[in-house]
Structure 1
Amino acid sequence: MKASALFWLLIVLLDASNLTIYAQSVGQTLVPWKTGNLDIHHINTGRGNATFFILPDGTTLLIDAGALDPTAERTLSPRNTRAVPSADRQPGEWIARYITKVMTMSQLTPRLNYAQLTHFHNDHMGSPSSISPKAEQGNFVLTGITQVAAYLPIDKVIDRGWPDYAYPYPQNNSMMTNYRAFVDWQSKQKGTVFERSKPGRADQITLKKDPAPYAKMFEIRNIIVNGELWTGTGTTTRQLFPDRSSLNNSQLPSENMCSIAIRLRYGAFDYFSGGDLPGVVRFGSPAWNDVETPVSKVVGPVDVHILDHHGNRDSQNDNLLAALRPRVFVIPVWSSDHPGHDVLDRMYSQDIYPGDRDVFATDMLEANKLVIGELLNRLKSDKGHIVVRVAPGGATYQVISLDDSNENMVVKGVFGPYQSR
C-alpha cells in the first residue's frame, strides 16, 4: 500500500468524524460528501450519460450531459429506457437539480468547476428537439449541457473539438450548430472558458479549492482524444489514426473513436472513463479501429470502470479487460443494446482475469433480462443512480445505489467497503 494511502486509512480508523463514509444504511438519505472524500455519481435520467464528481477538496466535475430527443420514435419505444424520474422535465434540468441537491446537502455552493463532453453524440451532450426550450438569451435551445448551464455556473468546458470543430470533418449538424452557438454566447456573456482536451496532460483538470493536502495523491490524466494517445511517459503522445488525407470519407475515424478518455487517481484508487471508445473491430476494418487495446496499455489496472460505449457489442475487448482488471463495473444504460451479451460474458470471465468483480447498472430493461438471463441476475444493482464514494486518501471505497424514482436520494443498497488496489 502507498504510504499516503496508509496514512489516510489510519486517519479514517482513528477519527470517528471520518467514519461517516461507512455510516450509510438502506432506506436512509444519502450521507453528504465531506472534505477528503471523493464522490462519483453516475446519474440516471434514462436519456444518456451524466457522471458528476465531487473531488476531495470540493472541486466539481461533470462528464457528459446526455439528452436524447424525447419526441423521437426510438426514444419512446420499448427499446429504450423511460425518462427518470419522469418526463415532466428534460434531462439537462434533472441533472442540474441532482447536482444542486447533492452540493447543497454537502454545504457547497452549486457550481461546476469543470464540465467535459467525451464526444459529440446526443446521449452525451444533448440533442435539440421540437420541445427544447429556447435560451432566454442567445441563439440556441436548452438540451443536455446547454440546459445544465442554464441552471448552474460552469467555469470551464472541455470538449474534443474546440475551437474549429473540424476533426475529422466539419461538425455542422443541428446538434453541433446549437452547441457552437452556445459556446460563442456562453464564453462571451458568462465568461466560461472552453478548451480542447490535451492528451497526456495532468494539469487541465486540477483541484481548485485546497489542492495542497492532496498534491501527491490526486491526479486526473488525459489519456486520449481524437486518436492522440498518451505514451505513458511524461506528457508525450502518439497518433493512432492515419493522416486523414490518406483516407476517404468512409474510412475516417468515427465519432466514438475520437472520444476523450481520462484516468482519475486518488491514492491507491483508480477510475477509468473512456466515453464510447470501441475495441472490437468489424470484419475487414483496419486494426487501428481498435482504440481500447492501445489505451489499456497506458491506463493499467483500475478499481472502477464505467463501461465504454455503455457496454455495446463493440466494446470491452479482452485486452482492455485484462489490463484494467476492474473490481467494480458501472453500466450506464438507456437502450436494450446495453450491454451486449458477449460483452457481459467477457466482463465476468475468469479466464481474462481472475478474481471477484461487482457489476452495477443504472437501468436494465426487462427485454435484456429475458434475452441474457443468468448473467444479468448477477448484477448487484440493476436500477438507480450509482455512487462511488472513496474514503479520504483513497485506500477504500463503497458503492451506493440510490432510488431514482424521485429526488429524495434514498439509499437502496450499500456495497463494500472495497480495498483499493
Structure 2
Amino acid sequence: LSEVAEAFHFAKLIDRAYPDYDFPVNLFNTMEGAFYIGFMQSVQVRGTLVERFEVAKHGQLRMVKGGGRSDFVIKNIKTNAAVAEVDAHGNFTGARTLPGEVLTGAGKWDENKLSIAMVIEYGSFRYYEGGDNEANDLLDAVNPTAQVVGPVDVATLNHHGQGVTKTFAELLDPKVAILQAWCSSHPPSRSIQILREEGRGQQREIFATDMFTEKLAELEAQGLAKSFRSVAGHVVVRVHPKQDDKQSYEIFVLDPSSLSVLSRHGFYE
C-alpha cells in the first residue's frame, strides 16, 4: 500500500478501524498496526482524508465526476465483526455483530476475517467485493454477509477463492466471478466445484488474474477448468447505461504490462 501511495495520491482513504485502531486489540501496540498507522498519518500530512468504514451506510463512497448519478450507489455491507441488516426490500435497517470469536486463545486474530465487504450498484447491475473474508468454526464472515448481499451479476471471490461457501454461491449466484490469483494454491478446487454446483444452474464464467500453470493443470485434471474464460490479465468490467429496460455489461481482459485488450467477453444481461 505504501508503494502504491508513492505513485498515486489518495484523496480519501477508508479503513476498518480509524481513528481509534482498537479492534480487536490496541493496534498501536502491534508491529503491523504501528507501521500502518504511521503510513496513514503520513498520507494525512499530504492531504489525504482518512475515514472509518461505516457499516450499513451508502454514500460514503460516491461518484465525484460528472455530478454523480442517482442510480449509482456503493453500499457498505461488512467490516470487522459487524455486518449490515436489511429489510425485505434490501434497505439498511442497522448493523449487528457476527456470532463467534475474533481472538483465539493465544490472543491472535485473523485479519482476513475483518475485511471490508461492499456492493456496487448501477441501475439493476450489482457487483460484490468482499476482500479476504473467510469462514471457519471460530468466526464465519462469509455466510452472514452473503445473506445480506443477495443476488449479484459479478462477484470477486473472497480471499482468492478460499472464502467460497455453498451459501455464498447459492445466494450471490454471480454469472461472472473474478478470481484474484497470484499463488499456486489459488483457488482451492473445492471452491470451483461449489461454484459449478450451487445456484440457479447457470453457466458461470470465471476470470482469473494470474493463475499458476500447475493449479490450472490440477483443475483441468479434475474437469473444473471449463468455466474459466481467462487465467491471466487485468479484469475490467464495463457496465452500459440501461436501454429499453435492459442493462448489459462486458468483461475486458488486459495485458498487465501494456494494458492492451487481450480478449473481450459479453454482452451479458
Deviates more, 1:249-258 or 1:351-360: 249-258
Separation (CA, whole Å) in 1 of partners of 2:215 and 2:120: 31
1:309 aligns with 159
1:54 aligns with none
- Unpaired stretches in structure 1, ≥5 consecutive residues: 1-144
Root-mean-square deviation (CA, aligned residues, Å) is 2.0
With normalisation by structure 1, the TM-score equals: 0.58
Asked if 2 retains the 8 angstrom alpha-carbon contact of 1:263 and 1:271, the reply is: yes
Structure 1 residues 227, 415: closer, same or farther in 2, change over 3 A? same
Q: Are 1:331 and 2:183 an aligned pair?
A: no
Q: CA deviation at 1:209?
A: 2.6
Separation (CA, whole Å) in 1 of partners of 2:183 and 2:104: 31
Q: Which runs of structure 2 are paired with 1:78-117 in the superposition (5 Å)?
A: none
Deviates more, 1:162-171 or 1:295-304: 162-171
1:224 aligns with 78
Separation (CA, whole Å) in 1 of partners of 2:181 and 2:229: 15
Report which of the two has the higher share of strand. 2
* Matching residue within 363, 366, 371 for 2:210: 363
Q: Greater relative contact order (Cα 8 A, min sep 6): structure 1 or 2?
A: 1
1:167 aligns with 23
Separation (CA, whole Å) in 1 of partners of 2:185 and 2:254: 23
Q: CA deviation at 1:164?
A: 2.5
Asked if 2 retains the 8 angstrom alpha-carbon contact of 1:168 and 1:252, the reply is: no
- Unpaired stretches in structure 2, ≥5 consecutive residues: none
The residue type paired with residue 169 of structure 2 is L
Structure 1 residues 235, 182: closer, same or farther in 2, change over 3 A? farther
Q: CA deviation at 1:242?
A: 5.4
* Matching residue within 186, 191, 194 for 2:43: 186
Larger Rg: 1
Separation (CA, whole Å) in 2 of partners of 1:330 and 1:191: 33
Asked if 1 retains the 8 angstrom alpha-carbon contact of 2:100 and 2:140, the reply is: no
Q: Which runs of structure 2 are paired with 1:271-350 in the superposition (5 Å)?
A: 271-279=127-135, 281=136, 285-286=137-138, 289-312=139-162, 315-349=163-197
With normalisation by structure 2, the TM-score equals: 0.89
Asked if 2 retains the 8 angstrom alpha-carbon contact of 1:358 and 1:379, the reply is: yes
Asked if 2 retains the 8 angstrom alpha-carbon contact of 1:302 and 1:324, the reply is: yes
Residue by residue over 1:290-347, the C-alpha shift from the partner in whole angstroms, topping out at 9 and shown as x without a partner, is 22111111101000001100012xx210011100010000100011111001101111
Separation (CA, whole Å) in 2 of partners of 1:305 and 1:248: 30
Question: How many residue pairs end up in the alignment?
Answer: 259
2:247 aligns with 395
Asked if 2 retains the 8 angstrom alpha-carbon contact of 1:241 and 1:253, the reply is: no
Q: CA deviation at 1:377?
A: 4.3
Separation (CA, whole Å) in 2 of partners of 1:368 and 1:305: 21
1:126 aligns with none
The residue type paired with residue 239 of structure 1 is T
2:125 aligns with 269
1:150 counterpart SS class: helix
2:171 counterpart SS class: helix
Percent of pairs with identical residues: 31
Asked if 2 retains the 8 angstrom alpha-carbon contact of 1:346 and 1:352, the reply is: no
